[in-house]
């Protein structure tokens, strides 16, 4: 009888391991019930900055979040953030993916969680940051903006505008921006800022009036962020993990870090897809 019970126990144990293994294969996720997704570096659409430097590709992060949400083994998510922010649209898309995550989410901010990275963190159920972390910096910038008209004049280089209608070349670096065009650009940035402020305040369950004094583009250290309601706790990554375990009521926690496999071919493709600034000056809206 005892031998029979032992065989039943061993069989059930092996079956549970097999189920976990095959579910992991099916969902392309190793066995574990707390997913950790890293957001480290500049956030972009292409996976590279304008200078061709490596960056976070938003779609990769979104796919990992979606994958973790679909996996029945995963009971919660930790966003491991160390980012100065990045382009507005990719940051907003990752934020939306976090909001659509059906299980508890805790964001942990390491050195930096500013601008677009803070927008992403604000979508989590709770935010934990180190006392020395840099957070906030809620604002919008049009980067890069360089104006070469004076330099061109020194070298007797003439810019001829072959565009239509009149303001098609607004922001061209080869001529001075008119006062009207400058005001247009600022008004558009203000509208984007208002949208950023609205999303962050809603995510943090704050009114716009409560958040606005701290959404002036400035950054704050962790203890200030806690005082102003930008984060929920000061602590370490383990503290963030313990908080998620408590929120999600996870009995047997096991961390698994999800990463997108990147080949040298993909890295080369991302690099080549980003034009050299010597070939073209691209305008991107940056949350910074």
Tell me the per-residue pLDDT of 188-240, one tens digit each, with 9 for 90 and over: 999 999 999 999 999 999 999 999 999 999 999 999 999 999 999 999 999 99
Q: Grade residue 2 by pLDDT with cuts at 50, 70 and 90.
A: low
DSSP state of 155: T
- Residue 36: inside a domain: yes
* Measured distance CA(69)–CA(140) in Å, rounded: 30
- Residue 126: inside a domain: yes
Range of the domain at 54: 31-287
Looking at the structure of the chain, the number of domains it has is 1
- Residue 26: inside a domain: no
CATH number at residue 161: 3.90.226.10
- Residue 243: inside a domain: yes
Q: Grade residue 274 by pLDDT with cuts at 50, 70 and 90.
A: very low
What is the predicted pLDDT for the residue at 264? 47
Q: Strand pairing partners for 241?
A: none
- Residue 14: inside a domain: no
Mean pLDDT of the chain: 84
- Residue 109: inside a domain: yes
CA–CA distance from 247 to each of 57, 156, 186 (Å)? Answer: 29, 66, 42
What is the predicted pLDDT for the residue at 158? 85
């Amino acid at each position: 009888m005892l031998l029979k019970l032992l065989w039943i126990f061993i069989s059930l144990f092996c079956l549970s391991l097999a189920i976990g293994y095959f579910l992991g294969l099916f969902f392309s996720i190793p066995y574990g019930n707390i997913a950790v997704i890293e957001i480290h570096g500049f956030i972009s659409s292409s996976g590279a900055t304008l200078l061709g430097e490596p960056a976070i590709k938003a779609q990769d992060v979104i796919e990992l979040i979606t994958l973790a949400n679909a996996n029945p083994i995963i009971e919660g998510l930790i966003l491991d953030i160390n980012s100065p922010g990045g382009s507005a649209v990719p940051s907003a898309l990752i934020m939306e993916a976090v909001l659509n995550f059906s299980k508890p989410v805790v964001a942990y901010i390491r050195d930096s969680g500013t601008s677009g990275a803070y927008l992403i963190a604000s979508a989590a159920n709770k935010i934990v940051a180190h006392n020395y972390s840099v957070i906030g910096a809620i604002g919008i910038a049009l980067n890069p903006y360089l104006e070469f008209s004076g330099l061109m004049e020194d070298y007797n280089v003439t810019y001829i505008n072959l565009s239509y209608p009149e303001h098609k070349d607004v922001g061209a670096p080869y001529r001075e921006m008119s006062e009207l065009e400058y005001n247009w650009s600022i008004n558009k940035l203000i509208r984007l800022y208002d949208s950023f402020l609205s999303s962050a305040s809603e995510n943090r369950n704050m009114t716009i009036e409560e958040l606005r004094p701290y959404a002036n583009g400035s950054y704050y250290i962790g203890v200030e962020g806690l005082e102003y309601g930008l984060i929920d706790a000061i602590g370490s990554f383990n503290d963030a993990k313990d908080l998620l375990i408590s929120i999600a009521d996870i009995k047997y926690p096991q961390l698994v870090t999800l990463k997108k496999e990147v080949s040298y071919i993909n890295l080369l493709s991302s690099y080549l897809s980003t034009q050299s600034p010597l070939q073209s000056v691209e305008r991107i809206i940056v949350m910074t």
